[in-house]
C-alpha cells in the first residue's frame, strides 16, 4: 500500500499526530518523523528515506509551516519528483504560489470529521482507497423537493458552557496549577528602550491556560523521570540533535537552586520546548506573555504602575538566589489573571525569535525550526539579580542553547476544546555567577 508522508511545522505537531492517528485507524501507512525516525539516526538521512518511500504527501498549512525552510524542502522534493501533494489547511497562511494552485482540504472552517471525510475521498481519487473508506457517507443524488417538513424538538438543545472567567484556576493532568487567560487586546511595548518601540496594539485571538508560576524543579523532575531526555517525541529536530551531540541527560544544576519548589533553572530553549511538549502545551509567544502580565490596562508591572519591592524577588531581597514559588506566595504581586512571579525571580523563555516591533505572529518570528536568538522575559520582567529591568515590557535575547541560572520557563497549553483554549507553560533558567542585566 502507498505510504503517506506528513510534512508540518513543529508548532503544529499535535494536529499532525491527530491526522496520523485517524489515517492509521483507517488502515493507512503513515510516515511521521517523530514516530518513524529511530533513536540515533541522523534526521536528514531519515527524512530523505521517508520522502523516498512515500507516494503521497499531506502538507499541513499554517503560518509557521509556510515560513519553514525544512517544510519547503520536503514539498519541493515531492513536486520535483511529480508525486501528489494534498495541502491541509490547518490555520490560514499565505501559501507559496506552487502550493496555492493545489486544491486543499479545509480543516480550519467546519468540523474535523467533515474535513477528514473529504480527505479520505481525495486520497481515494489519488489511488489510495483505504480499508474503511466505503463506510464514509457519500453525496446523495439530488431529488426534487416535494415538501418542506417542519422539525420540532421535544427538548431544548443543551446550553453552551460559559467561558471561564479570567484567572479561573485548574490543575492539568501533570499536577500543575494553571490560570485562564481570555482573548483580548492590549498595547505592547514601551518608549523606554529602542527594542521595545514602537508601542502598538496587539490582538490575542485565542484564549489559553497559563502556568500559575514558573515551572518548578519538582515538575521538571517528572519530565526527566518520564524519559524526557531519551525520547525524541518531545524535541524539535534541532533540539534532538543538540541533545545527542552534547550528550545532554539532564539540565545544569546549581548549589542553592535545588529546592523542589524553586524555579527550574539551567535549561536551554530546546529543553523548554521539550518540557512543554511533554506537558501537552508549548512556550508562550512574547505577545501572549506580555498580555498575561499586563492586560488591557497596560500595566508597567504585573500589579500596577508603581514599583513595590514587597511584590517581587530581585537583587536587593533575593540573597543571590531564586525564591520558592507556589499558590499564595507573593500573591500581592499577581498579574490581572492571577499569574505569579511574572516579574522578578527568573527570566522566562518565550517561543518568539528576536525581531523588531511591531509584533506580527505570522511574519516568521514564531517559526520553531529557525535556530536564531530567542526572547527571554523574567515575567518578561527580570531575574533575582535584576533591579533595573523589572518592567513587563523589558526584553532580552539569547541563543537557544544558552544555559544560565537566571532563566526559566512558563508554559501555555493549547487544547482542542470548546473554546480552542491553549496551555502556556512557564520555563526558566538561572546561574548564581551570571551577570545578566544587573
Higher confidence at residue 143 or residue 63?
Answer: 63
- Of the ranges 103-117, 139-153, 231-245, which one carries the lowest mean pLDDT score? 139-153
Q: 115: which 3 cell numbers? A: 474535513
Give me the mean pLDDT over the 22-38 stretch. Answer: 86
Distance between CA atoms of residues 57 and 78, nearest Å: 8
How does the average pLDDT of the chain come out, rounded? 80
pLDDT of amino acid 179? 92
* pLDDT at position 135 over 50: no
Q: Would you say the C-alpha torsion 172, 404, 287, 33 has a positive or negative sign?
A: negative
φ and ψ of 75, to 5 deg: -70, -30
Mean pLDDT of 213-232: 93
Distance between CA 308 and CA 412 in Å, rounded? Answer: 27
Q: Return all residues near 293 (Cβ < 8 A) that are at least 6 apart.
A: 299, 302, 335, 339, 342, 343, 379, 380, 381, 392
User: Using an 8 Å Cβ cutoff, are 378 and 343 in contact?
Assistant: yes
| Residue 41: predicted pLDDT | 74
Residue 383 is predicted with a pLDDT of: 43
Question: Cα Rg for the chain, rounded, in angstroms?
Answer: 23
Domains and CATH numbers, the chain: 3-135 (3.40.50.10140), 217-430 (3.90.1580.10)
**What pLDDT is stored for residue 344 in this prediction?**
83
| 64-110 pLDDT per residue, tens | 899 888 899 999 999 999 999 999 999 999 899 899 999 899 998 87
SS (H, E, C) 383-420: CCCCCCCCCCCCCEEECCCCCCEEEEEEEEECCCCCCC
pLDDT above 90 as % of the chain: 37
pLDDT at 351: 87
Residue 241 to residue 376: CA distance in whole angstroms: 22
CB atoms within 10 A of CB 262: 23
| Mean pLDDT of all residues in 222-245 | 93
Cβ(223)–Cβ(275) below 8 Å: yes
Q: What's the pLDDT score for residue 287?
A: 92
Q: Please, which residues have CB within 8 angstroms of residue 396's CB and are 6 or more apart in sequence?
A: 347, 375, 376, 377, 389, 436, 437
Mean pLDDT of 294-321: 87
How confident is the model at residue 389, as a pLDDT? 55
Taking the model in full, what pTM does it have?
0.59
CA–centroid distance for 243 within its chain:
20
Q: How far apart are CA 283 and CA 296, in angstroms?
A: 22
Q: How many CB atoms lie within 10 A of CB 140?
A: 6
DSSP-assigned letter for residue 215: P
Residue 150 pLDDT greater than 60, yes or no: no
Strands 282-283, 422-430: pairing kind: parallel
Can you tell me the mean pLDDT for 250-274? 89
- Look-up of cell digits 519528483: 81
What pLDDT does 109 receive?
A: 85
- Rounded to an integer, the average pLDDT of 300-313 is 90
**Locate cell 515575567: which residue?**
379
Q: HSE on the CB side for 161, CA within 13 Å?
A: 6
CA–CA separation, 90 and 61 (whole Å): 6
Average pLDDT on 415-425 reads 37
d(CA 97, CA 83): 17
Q: What is the pLDDT of residue 414?
A: 39
For residue 316, give the C-alpha cell: 536587593
Amino acid at each position: 500500500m502507498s505510504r503517506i508522508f506528513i510534512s508540518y511545522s513543529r508548532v503544529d505537531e499535535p494536529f499532525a499526530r491527530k491526522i496520523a492517528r485517524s489515517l492509521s485507524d483507517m488502515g493507512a501507512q503513515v510516515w511521521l518523523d517523530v514516530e518513524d525516525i529511530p533513536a540515533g539516526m541522523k534526521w536528514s538521512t531519515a527524512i530523505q528515506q521517508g520522502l523516498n518511500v512515500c507516494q503521497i504527501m499531506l502538507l499541513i498549512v499554517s503560518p509557521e509551516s509556510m515560513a519553514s525552510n525544512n517544510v519547503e524542502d520536503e514539498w519541493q522534493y515531492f513536486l520535483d519528483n511529480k508525486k501528489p501533494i494534498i495541502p491541509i489547511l490547518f490555520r490560514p497562511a499565505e501559501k507559496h504560489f506552487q502550493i496555492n494552485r493545489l486544491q486543499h482540504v479545509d480543516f480550519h472552517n467546519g468540523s474535523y470529521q467533515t474535513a477528514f471525510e473529504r480527505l479520505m475521498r481525495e486520497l481515494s481519487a489519488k489511488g489510495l482507497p483505504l480499508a474503511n473508506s466505503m463506510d464514509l457517507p457519500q453525496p446523495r443524488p439530488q431529488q426534487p423537493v416535494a415538501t418542506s417538513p417542519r422539525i420540532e424538538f421535544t427538548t431544548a438543545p443543551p446550553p453552551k458552557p460559559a467561558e471561564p472567567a479570567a484567572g479561573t484556576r485548574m490543575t492539568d493532568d501533570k499536577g500543575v496549577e494553571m490560570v485562564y487567560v481570555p482573548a483580548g487586546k492590549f498595547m505592547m511595548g514601551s518608549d523606554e528602550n529602542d527594542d521595545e518601540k514602537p508601542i502598538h496594539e496587539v490582538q490575542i485571538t485565542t484564549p489559553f491556560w497559563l502556568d500559575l508560576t514558573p515551572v518548578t524543579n519538582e515538575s521538571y523532575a517528572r519530565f526527566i523521570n518520564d524519559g524526557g531526555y531519551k525520547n525524541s517525541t518531545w524535541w524539535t529536530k534541532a533540539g534532538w540533535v543538540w541533545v545527542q551531540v552534547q550528550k545532554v541527560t539532564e539540565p545544569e544544576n546549581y548549589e542553592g537552586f535545588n529546592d523542589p519548589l524553586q524555579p527550574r533553572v539551567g535549561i536551554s530553549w530546546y529543553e523548554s520546548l521539550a518540557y512543554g511538549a511533554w506537558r501537552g502545551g508549548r512556550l508562550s509567544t512574547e505577545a501572549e506573555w506580555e498580555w498575561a502580565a499586563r492586560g488591557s490596562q497596560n500595566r508597567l508591572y504585573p500589579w500596577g504602575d508603581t514599583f513595590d519591592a514587597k511584590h517581587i524577588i530581585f537583587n536587593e531581597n533575593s540573597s543571590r538566589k531564586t525564591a520558592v514559588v507556589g499558590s499564595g506566595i507573593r500573591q500581592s504581586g499577581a498579574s490581572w489573571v492571577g499569574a505569579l512571579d511574572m516579574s522578578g525571580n527568573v527570566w522566562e523563555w518565550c517561543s518568539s525569535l528576536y525581531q523588531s516591533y511591531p509584533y506580527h505572529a505570522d511574519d516568521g518570528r514564531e517559526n520553531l525550526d529557525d535556530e536564531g536568538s530567542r526572547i527571554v522575559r523574567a515575567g518578561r520582567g527580570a531575574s533575582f539579580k535584576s533591579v533595573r529591568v523589572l518592567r513587563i515590557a523589558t526584553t532580552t535575547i539569547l541563543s537557544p542553547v544558552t544555559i544560565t541560572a537566571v532563566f526559566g520557563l512558563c508554559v501555555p497549553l493549547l487544547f482542542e476544546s470548546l473554546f480552542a483554549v491553549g496551555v502556556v507553560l512557564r520555563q526558566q533558567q538561572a546561574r548564581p555567577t551570571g551577570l545578566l542585566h544587573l
